[in-house]
Structure 1
């Protein structure tokens, strides 16, 4: 019988990775549900159009489900965790761009929301990076 070598690098001892993924999932899922359910109210409160919040909310709910699925795996692909980190970095960059470009007439509360979310997502990314290094 022939043996096929796998080139997929996985992580088996990943307590910190699982913790970070679950925390990211809870935050993303909660935000997503709120955005979808009360987009009109949040839109006025933060200066963001509801038409922008609905798809962002739907994405966040799906993203949360994907993170929970990844966290529940017996072994995790390092590439999958890398993709999560890349999406998180893209979120932080997009948040900065949203503030700098002035795409929407954000209220002060809206500016604070964008900044806080970017900082939290950057924190999750740092935890994921630490988890990868610890499990390497």
Structure 2
């Protein structure tokens, strides 16, 4: 059995998403001022996104803990993760803030992480999709 076909694949990816967001959010909330100095990002941005990440981590953990993952919510998570990556890149490209090399690494690490998670979540959603009709239900002419 492929790891992607495992019924635990999608919940495990959601647990990974929850853990990464909890860790990043906790760092940004606990060390806002230090991170602001190191990254060149404004403290209010770090605090705001840190709090958001902690709330999101709790919601992702809730989704991961369900016996049947909520497909529609996880679909929204996929879109949100790709959106987060676009926002990260936009922030760097815009030049609005005097982002340091550490700041570029911090933001790019988040972008790469959410792109990987979004792709794994999308793969998990596609692989766990139910309702495919078996070949035996084809008509004699080979059509549905």
**Do Structure 1 and Structure 2 share a fold, with TM-score over 0.5?**
yes
Residue 103 of structure 1 and its aligned partner are, at CA, apart by 1.9
Q: TM-score, normalised by structure 1?
A: 0.87
Q: Does residue 25 of the first structure (1) align with residue 26 of the second (2)?
A: no
Q: Deviations over 1:2-47 (max 9, x none)?
A: xxxxxxxxxxx74111111110110100110110111000000011
- Separation (CA, whole Å) in 2 of partners of 1:115 and 1:17: 24
Greater relative contact order (CA < 8 Å, ≥ 6 in sequence): 1
Query: 5+ residue gaps in structure 2?
Result: 1-5, 130-144
Structure 1 stretches of at least 4 aligned residues deviating more than 6 Å after TM superposition: none
Aligned length: 124
Query: 5+ residue gaps in structure 1?
Result: 1-12
Q: TM-score, normalised by structure 2?
A: 0.83
Q: CA RMSD in A?
A: 1.1
Higher-Rg member (1/2): 2
Q: Deviations over 1:83-119 (max 9, x none)?
A: 1111101100101100111121100111111111101
SS where residue 48 of structure 1 aligns?
Answer: coil
